Amino acid sequence: MNRLSNIKSKIIGFTKKDKGHTKSKLRRFLFGMKFIDGFVFKVSIYTMLIGLGYIYLYPMMYMLSYSFMTMNDIIDVSVNWVPSKITFENYRIVWEAINYPKALMDAVILAGLPALSATFSSALIGYGFAKFDFPFKKILMTLMILTFIIPPQITMIPTIRMYADYNLIGSIMSFIYPAILGQGFNGAIYILIFYSFFKMIPNSLMESAQLDGAGPMKIFTKIAIPLAVPAIIIVFLFSFVWYYNETYLSGLFLRGSDMLTLPLRVEQFMVNYASNYPEGSSARELMQSAKLAGNILAILPLLILFFFTQKYFVEAIDRTGITGE
């Protein structure tokens, strides 16, 4: 009897141990060791990412689909998303109307030159704030941050009057001069990026260069700039995209100019087209596909730019510690 009871107790013990081990494995599978490596956490993260991806991709897929539709597909309510016949007529209309090759070249110049100027000036100013002590440093930093906090619409009237006095309205120099002085579009962000990056460079490295006879400018060009390549990539790409997509300020500063950004070219084309037809006419509705085709042509250079620079862009964000804007 004792032998049978011992065997029974061992069987019950093994059964309980197996159940406990199974529960432990199940808990570890669902929640992981630190919750962030469990199945529940991963499902939640991927669900959120898919949702965010859908929010961002839906407008793109909509524009792409309807930009290839014919007039008959737009009129036909049964056609939704998938065109019955793919046509490139909408792209041809916009291409010829805005002279796309010239418009693209103008847009690259309008975005590239100010972006280069903003990158250089922001690096110089950020380095000065990070590595030098001078009178009113904190006050100047505060004023610099205020230039980003204050909406540009508040200072628009005095800015336009000042640009008009210096004959900058309708010229690309209305972009380049502020960028050289560190006051281009969102210039304060670029300065803060370089400031935070240069702040991480050890002062001992600068002091060693000074002992070898290097001056401040040589230290900046030979030591600081080579180490700041990730920040330079980030600032240039951000600046280029913001200048490229800017429509409100560009429309004010570049009015009367032959050079316009691509979004402004497309908008100007649509306004000119709509002015020839009365409100509510079918012709205006039919032109929506051409407008979407123009939007695709406007953002296509940025997509290509990001495709070829995404590796450097991600590495630069990782090294500079930028989490997003």
pLDDT tens digits along 57-77:
888 888 888 888 877 777 777
Q: What is the pLDDT of residue 14?
A: 47
> Could you tell me if 29 and 39 are in contact, meaning their C-beta atoms sit under 8 angstroms apart?
yes
Distance CA 182, CA 171 (A): 18
> Could you tell me if 244 and 261 are in contact, meaning their C-beta atoms sit under 8 angstroms apart?
yes
3-state secondary structure of 200: coil
Distance CA 93, CA 91 (A): 5
Name the pTM for this structure.
0.78
Tell me the mean pLDDT in the region 16-25. 60
Domains of the chain, each with CATH number or no CATH: 2-75 (no CATH), 89-320 (1.10.3720.10)
Residue for token pair 């316009």: 260
Q: Using a pLDDT cut of 70, give the percent of the chain over it.
A: 82
Q: What angle do CA 220, 244, 226 make, to 5 degrees?
A: 20
Four-point Cα dihedral 203, 205, 208, 210, nearest 10: -70
